[in-house]
Structure 1
């Protein structure tokens, strides 16, 4: 078993003691992504739609570096500071993913780093 550390400058750098992702035995374990602009390390917007899009773009960049993609996601964990935005997540997932959709959990939480409205982590199969 060979564990590979994954890092790309095309996604936000870790803001703590963790890796963007770890690849092990053909599976990519992505840390949670919040809607930070990777260059400026600030939230892209206060708008939930823009935040969701940025989170998926950040995840995609990490997965591409891991020789994977959003199409290979097996499981998502979605953390929302307002579960009223759950339907927005569904709308964006229907645009980004094809059936069968990945497994998913949605968790309501009090707050996220940097005031983000959403965070998503993922488990994906490497190509």
Structure 2
């Protein structure tokens, strides 16, 4: 019995060791990092997407038009990072939103809702003084990697 327990413990530990690794996600479909961070990192069965602002991936400049243009660009950037790992918005389980002007919360809800139609992720929204690149909003997400995508 003791040998069986030791064998099971060994198999469990070695089988889970693959989840202790991290994988860096990169795509040209989203803006390249402007500092020492990655667009996305897979670890422990989760994909952590770095906070995105409304930068156009081609020009690396903030899209013009304020919140109404920034949110769709941000969400497209997030979708591109998810897609680089074979995922989509249905895999998102948590969203963190940083806004310069919380009075625009309803507008963000309207724009956000078009990307999540059911089984909504958990969400936190925080008011901040400044956003990188002079943006009005920044959004970061965490997504669950489907079991078939997890590498051993």
Structures share fold, TM-score greater than 0.5: yes
Identify, as 1 or 2, the structure richer in strand.
1
Q: What residue is the counterpart of 1:6 in the other structure?
A: 25
Contact 1:23 1:66 survives alignment (8 Å): no
1:46 aligns to 2:54 (yes or no) = no
Q: Which has the larger radius of gyration?
A: 2
**1:69 Cα offset (Å):** 1.1
**1:67 Cα offset (Å):** 2.1
- 2 CA distance for matches of 1:46 and 1:16? 25
Equivalences, count:
127
Cα distance 1:116–1:42, how it changes in 2: closer, same or farther (>3 A)?
A: same
**1:47 Cα offset (Å):** 2.2
**1:13 Cα offset (Å):** 0.5
Gaps in structure 1 of 5+ consecutive residues: none
Which segments of structure 1 move beyond 3 Å, counting only runs of 4 or more?
none
Query: Which structure is higher in RCO with an 8 Å CA cutoff and minimum separation 6?
Result: 1
TM-score normalised per structure 1:
0.95
Contact 1:35 1:43 survives alignment (8 Å): yes
Across the aligned residues of Structure 1 and Structure 2, the Cα RMSD in angstroms comes to 1.0
Given the alignment, which residue of 87, 90, 99 partners 1:71?
90
Q: What residue is the counterpart of 2:53 in the other structure?
A: 34
Given the alignment, which residue of 78, 101, 107 partners 2:120?
101
Q: What residue is the counterpart of 2:4 in the other structure?
A: none
